[in-house]
Amino acid sequence: MELWRLPGHRLRELLGRGEVSALEIAQNHLERLEAKEPQISAFLHVNRDGALMQAGVIDDRIRQLRQAGEDVDAALPPLAGVPVAIKDNMCTEGVPTTAASKILRDYVPPYDATVVRRLREAGAVMMGKANCDEFAMGSSTENSGYFPTKNPWDPTRVPGGSSGGSAAAVAAGEAAASLGSDTGGSIRLPASLCGVVGVKPTYGRVSRYGLIAFGSSLDQIGPFTRDVEDAALMMNAISGHDPMDSTSADVPAPDFTEALSAGVSGLRIGVPREYFGPGTEPGVDKAVRDAIALLERLGARVGECSLPHTSYALDVYYIIAPAEASANLARYDGVRYGPRAAGAVTVGEMYARTRAAGFGPEVRRRIIIGTYVLSAGYYDAFYLKAQKVRTLVKRDFDKVFEEFDLLATPVSPTVAFPLGSKVADPLSMYLSDVCTIPINLAGVPAVSVPCGMVDGLPVGLQLIGRSLDEATLLRAAYTYEQYSGNGGQVAE
C-alpha cells in the first residue's frame, strides 16, 4: 500500500484499527523520501534512525495496550504514527538545526522547541528538518545557505518560501504534515505554490519558544498539510499558552476539528479590492474568483470591501522586519554561536570575517537595511513612521471585520515562477508577498487552501480571519475543500 498518499488522519485511523503499524508508515514515507529527494531537495537533515525509533516506541505501546485489553484507538494520541517534517529554524533536541545558514552549520540544540515537544507528545514521527531560505528570509527557498528546494509539481520552478522545504515535503508525499514559520507569508506562499494547505495562526496563538527569530513581532509557526482536517489536528497539537514565550496568548485554544462540518451558510465574506491588482495573473485571478463564487453558492454572503492602507504594507514590512532581524542576528558573532572565521587580529575584524563567511547575501542585505533604519538620525524618519503606518494597516482589518467574518484574496499574484528568474532582482522577489504581508503586520490569522491549477501549477485561495478565530477560517476552508475537490493531492 502507498501509505504516503494518505493524509495524516487516515494514517492514524489505520494505525488505531491495527491495519498498519507505525513502523510500516515510517518506512513507507522514508522510501518515498529517498525516491523524491534527488528531484526536489526538501530536507537538510533526514532523521531516519530517529523516525524508526519513534515508530517502534509507538508500536510497542500498541502491543502493551492490546495485551492489557484496552481500546487501542481511544488510548493512542491524536497524531500517533503521523510522519511530520520540521522547518530547520525550529530547535530539535539532538538533531541539527541550522536555519539553512552556514553560520549555524554545526549547531545541535540541547532542547526541543515547544511546538516540536507538543508534536512528539501527540505521537507524531519526525522525518527530518526541512530546507528553507536562510533565517527564513526569502520567498523562494533559493536563499538557503546549502541548496535550493524545487517545486514537486515542476522541478524547474520554485516551491515558494521561506518554508519551501516544509511545503514541498508534504506536496511530494515525503511527510503527511510539516511545520513552517510565517513572518510575511512564508507558510501561505509555499502552500499556494505547492498545492497544499498552510495555516498562519494569530500572532501569539502558537508558542515561538525554540524558533530561531527573524522578526519577533511578526514570526508565527503554523502547519502544512494536504487537507484541512489534518490542519485542524495539527493546530490542536501545537496551539495554546506557553509560559516560556512572553508573547504567547494566555487564552484557551478550542478543538479546531469541532466546527469543520458546520458549513458556510450565513458567513459574511469580504473581497478586498486592493488584492486584485494589475500584477495578478489572469489564471490566478479566475481561480480565486471561482473559489469565492463557490463559497457564495454554498450559502456565504459575499461583498466587496476595502483595506485602504494595503499599498503601504510592503514598504512598512521591509523596514520593520529588517530592523528586527538586525537586532536578532547580532548574536551570531563567532563567539556565542557558529564557527569563528580564522585570521582576525581584532574583535571587530573577527565579527566582520565571521559574519561575511557565515551569512548569505540576502541576510546581509536585510541586516544592513535594518541597522540603517535603526541608526541615529534615521530612526524617526523610517522605523518610527513605519510603526505608525503599521497601526493604520491593523485598523483597516479591525474596521472591515466589523462588517465581515472572513476575507478572501489570492495568496500569490502568480503561480510558481522559474528557478533563478528573480534571484538578481530582490524587489521583484519581495513583490511575491504583496498579498500576505499585511496579515502579519495586523497579527490576524489566515489560511491558504488549494483552489485549482493553472498550466499544471497550483493556485491558493487565502482566507483571512479575525484575531484568534482560526476555527471559522478552517471551517470555511474545509467546506470549500469538500465541495471543490481540490484537497489532498500529491505531486507525482
Block means of pLDDT (10 residues each) for the chain, length 492 residues?
Answer: 96 97 98 98 98 98 96 96 98 98 94 98 98 98 98 98 98 98 98 98 98 98 98 98 97 96 97 93 98 98 98 97 96 83 90 92 96 94 97 98 98 97 88 95 98 97 98 98 92 90
Q: Which one of 162, 207, 432, 467 is the catalytic residue?
A: 162
Query: pLDDT, tens digit, for every residue of 171-204?
Result: 999 999 999 999 999 999 999 999 999 999 999 9
How are beta strands 301-305 and 268-272 bridged, if at all?
parallel
CA distance 267 to 265: 6
Q: What does the pLDDT read at residue 487? A: 82
Query: Domains of the chain (ranges plus CATH)?
Result: 3-270+405-484 (3.90.1300.10)
- Residue 207 bears catalytic tag: no
CA distance 393 to 463: 17
Per-residue cell: 175: 511527510
- Residue 186 bears catalytic tag: yes
Q: What does the pLDDT read at residue 424? A: 87
Q: Which one of 21, 36, 41, 87 is the catalytic residue?
A: 87
Q: What does the pLDDT read at residue 405? A: 98
Helical (H) or strand (E) element with 485: none
Sorted by sequence, the CB contacts under 8 Å of residue 395 that are 6+ apart come out as none
CA distance 466 to 474: 12
Q: What does the pLDDT read at residue 181? A: 98
CA distance 404 to 129: 39
Q: What does the pLDDT read at residue 428? A: 87
CA distance 151 to 305: 34
Closest CA to 140 of 452, 422, 483, 466: 422
Q: What does the pLDDT read at residue 266? A: 97
- Residue 286 bears catalytic tag: no
Q: Which one of 186, 412, 467, 484 is the catalytic residue?
A: 186
CA distance 365 to 372: 11
How are beta strands 268-272 and 197-200 bridged, if at all?
unpaired
Per-residue cell: 44: 537538510
Q: What does the pLDDT read at residue 274? A: 97
Q: What does the pLDDT read at residue 108? A: 96
Query: Which residue is associated with the grid cell 515547544?
Result: 114
CA distance 146 to 448: 27
Q: What does the pLDDT read at residue 222? A: 98
CA distance 228 to 482: 9
Estimate the share of the chain in helix, then strand, then coil, as percent rounded to the nearest 5.
45, 15, 40
Helical (H) or strand (E) element with 394: helix 385-400
Q: Output the CA–CA distances (angstroms, integers) from residue 236 to 15, 254, 436, 463, in the order listed.
A: 20, 8, 24, 19
Q: What does the pLDDT read at residue 8? A: 98
The DSSP line for 335-383 is SSSSPPPS--SSHHHHHHHHHHHHS-HHHHHHHHHHHHHTSTTTIIIII
Its pTM stands at 0.97
CA distance 429 to 162: 12
Helical (H) or strand (E) element with 317: helix 310-328
Per-residue cell: 420: 533563478
